[in-house]
Structures are given as structure tokens and as C-alpha cells.
Structure 1
Amino acid sequence: MFKAFSVSLLFLLLGKACLAQNPETILLKNYRPKSIYRVPVTKVTKAKFPVIDMHAHPRQAKSVEGIKEWINRMDKFGIEKTVLLAQKTGPSLDSICKVFAPFSDRFEVWCGFDYTGYNEPGWSEKAVKELERCVKAGAKGVGELGDKGFGEMFSEPAIAYGMHIDDPRMKPLFQKCGELGIPVNVHVAEPMWMYQPMDSTNDGLMNAYHWRVDSTKQGLLGHAALIRTLENVVRDNPNTIFIASHLANCEYDMTILGNLFTKYKNLYADLSARMAEISPVPRYMNTFFEKISGQAGIWYRQYH
């Protein structure tokens, strides 16, 4: 009996030892502090005014049941309508439009561009025709177009390596968007932390390492160059509305986006999935939002 008691006590002590953590060996990625501050907390569970979610993707619901569950969540949080950036053309887009058609009062489907044969003569004209067809099928806008340095990569069924949004071949498409009165959501670059050294000096390391950009790769446009492509296309297509996705990935220096807002009245932005980057500087961001509130639109979206 004494032996059994001793063994049980040993296991108990070992268990406590395992639960105890040595601060010298805790990895930063495993650091999960729990605040002990007892301060007033305001929990906002529903938007005070109706919200339009400007940046979602249809893959989040693939059935009528899933869409109905989505609508229930929208109602719970005060979201009036959601924009679905399908990034698709052809039959894939048609199927999405068909599924969401019965819920058109709550969802808008946006299409992509078809880059098939983008290096061949006559591609622009073919792509414009497909854009017009997509609009007839139900698309209310274009997006999310995406270029992280190697060219337009977000639209299906094809990728356009080496072709950026300010490429002359793209201009007929953006002109047609202006004629049709449909906006374009554009993703350029990544947050600046993804371009910085992946070391102890990077204050966004935990997220940056996962999405890091290898700037040594040949043919890659850097952050500043990609922002220039955004400015070029906005400037050269004044009759087309552009939405810079993710605050144009300029969270580290919002004066870049602010200056673009001042210069171009056809430019807007969404702050999708960038709460982590702007939350560390709340007063600065509040000042920025208040300053541009009467000048440009910032639309909300936060990934779940």
C-alpha cells in the first residue's frame, strides 16, 4: 500500500512539474498572456447602424443551408449586405451567381477577369466580352484582383504572370468597368512587415513570417513599385471606381494612402483582415479615419 501511495505521489509531483512553465524556455509563438486588469469593458455585439461587408468570398458558403446560416450571422451582427469577391469567370462564376440569386437582397457577387491567353494578340477584346457576359450573368463588380509582385494571380481560370494592373492590355477592361458602372477591388503588395528581415527586430514577426515575401526572387515588384501600379491605374481610369483592398497594404505609413485619396476621387479602400496591423496605433488610426471621413470611403471587413 505504501508503495502504491509513493508511486501515485510521484506521478502527481511529475504532473505539476509538467504544468509549471519555465519562463526561460517559453517560445514567443506560445506566449498567451491573460490580462488580470480589472477595468470597465464595453462589449459591442451588434453594429449601431447597418453595415455593408465589402470583402468576403463565396467559398465561405457552398450550399443554400450554408447561405442561410451566413444570413443569420449577418443579422446577429447588424450586417445588411455582403459583397462576395468571387475572383472567377465562366461557368464557375455562373454557378455562384445561380446559388446566391435568391438572396440578392443580402449578397452581391463580383467576378474576376479571364486571363486565358493574355500574352496572345486580341486578348483584351476577348476579356472585355467575357466581362460583359459576367455582368449579364449577375456580377455587380470586379474583384478581388491580386498582385503580390509577380503579376495578376487571383482570378480564375488563369494566372497572368508578369502582367500588372497598369499594363496597357488591362486598360480596355478598366475602361469597360467604368462604362458599365461597376467598381473594381484591387489587392496590391503585402503589409510592409512581410518585406522586412525575419528576425528579432520585426515587430510583426508572428504574422509576417507566415506571409513573408522573398524579395530576392527575380522579376518580383517590391512594395513601392506595386503601389505605383495602383496609382497609375487609378489615375489613368478616372471614370472607374477602384477599391484598394486591405488599405492598399500601407498600414505602416497611412500617409501613402491618404495622399492617394487626396489626389484621386475615384479611389476607396477596405480594411479587410488588417486589424492586427492597425490596432497597435489606435489613436493614429482614429485620427486618420476622422481626417478622411468626408473625403474617401473606408469599408470594413474582418476575416473570421
Structure 2
Amino acid sequence: MKRVSYAEFGGPDVLRLVDAEEPHAGPGRIRIAVRAAGVNPVDWRLREGQRLGAHPVELPAGVGQDAAGVVDEVGAGVEGVAVGDPVFGEGAATYAEFAVLTAWARMPEGLSFEEAAGYPSVVETALRVLGQVGVRPGQTLLVSGAAGGVGSAVLQIARERGIAVIGTAGPANQDYLRGLGARATTYGEGWVERVRWWGPVDGALDLAGAGVIRELVELTGDPHRVVSIADLGAPELGVRFSGVAGSVPDALTEAADLIARGRLHIPVERSYALTEAAAAHRDSRAGHTRGRRVIVV
């Protein structure tokens, strides 16, 4: 089969489309014929050699953890899913023709494989950081970097829970944030004052790593009310860095329910072929995403 791999750490150019042995579903796992794979910042962070404790890398390594596709092998002990079922979930080396998933859920009706591949990690992350930041219904959450995949999920889940959201993003994404129910403002000079104009902030999420941790602490008044998924230096300022996944199966179940009820939709901004993985990583690293980027197999 074909898969995207890298034999050394470095920039996007270390990615290669190679021939590889097909993986197989061990106990408690399923294998899918991949139709699409989600592109996440963790993918290029690992490729660059950033040391993320929850994701040890042994070279040569495959790329990707999110995927949607059709079940074609079911491991021992797995129930509730059969060969031929369309599913989405998390696994390893998902930029490939076949991949083994460790967590999955049936795809909601009407969802395309491209769309489904964009949900697993971002919804798990959104649910996790919303729990960690501790903002309750009726309170206000500030989200820095609100237009990307995680931000899109956070805004919609927060709205479903009765939490008011202020989102920051680039000028081109202001209407997009408003469409998801957020009060929107741009980055740049004066953004702190623009946020203050709306009143007190009860918690804040840093989703973009834009160097705004000090300002988020200032706006909330307490570093323990700020959570980052993007700034590895956040703990130096007393802010929690959230990098370890919670219950992925539970997150997928909740995602499927929200999608089926029309309460969650994350658009696909751009799709790439397996041969374009390097371009997908360059674009992901550059940021300014509206929704998700996916690899189509």
C-alpha cells in the first residue's frame, strides 16, 4: 500500500509517499480502507521533532491520527462494527491507503468522508479544554485562534452549553465566527481593549500559539483560568498546557450526536491528495484556517 512517511525530522520536504506493508487489526482494533485523513498541527509538530510526551516517535514514522473510511478488518473482541461499515476515528499513520484505528464511531448519516475525517481530534480537544478551563453556562469564554478546527468546535459546543464566547481571528474570518454565535474581534493592536469592551472574561483558551498568554492571564485575572494547546511555554506563566487526550471514544460518541442533531458542523477548507501532504503541512503551519484541512485517499 501507499503511505506518507518520514525517515528524519525536519521540514515538510522530509515527507515521502512510500510503499509500505499493510497494517492489520489486532485485538480491540479495526482496520479501515482510508477515504480521508485529517490534518492536525500535531502532525507537523511531530515531523519537526518537537518532543510531545504523549506522542513518542520511532523513525521511520507514518503521519496522521485522524481518518474516515470503510471497515475492512475487525480485531478480536471488537463488537458493534462490521466489515463494510463507514466509520471515523483515531489511530496511527492515517495518511495511507489503510490504517488501524484505536477509537471510532459510525459516521452520521449525510456526512462525507472528507468532512468526517476532520472531526475526531478537534472534537476531543475541544471537549477536553472546555472541561479544563471550567467555564460554566452563563459565563464568558475568550478563544484566541477561534476560526480553526478546534476553535470551530469550541464555539459550537460552548453555544450548545449556554456559554457566551468572544473569539479572535483574522479580518477574513470575522463573519465566520459570528455565524458560529461568537462575538468576534481581530488580532493586532488594541485587541485586549476590544475584548474588555464586552465585559469580564471568565476563562480563556489559546488555540493558536500567537504569543498572547500574558494578555489572556491579564484578561481573566488568573493563570489557572487559561488553557493552551499551542504554546509550549505556557507553563512558565502558570498556564496549563493541554496535550494529553482524554476519552476519544466518548468524544466521538458526543461528536456523532451533535452532528446528527445539526448542532456541530466543521467545514473543510481544503482537500489534498496523498502526494500533496507537504503542502498540507505548510498550509497548516501557516495557520489562518477556517475549519479543517484533509488528505483525500
Query: What TM-score comes out, normalization by structure 1 length?
Result: 0.27
* Bigger radius of gyration among the two: 1
Higher RCO (C-alpha 8 Å, min separation 6): 2
Quick check: which one's helix share is greater?
Answer: 1
Query: What TM-score comes out, normalization by structure 2 length?
Result: 0.28
Quick check: which one's strand share is greater?
Answer: 2
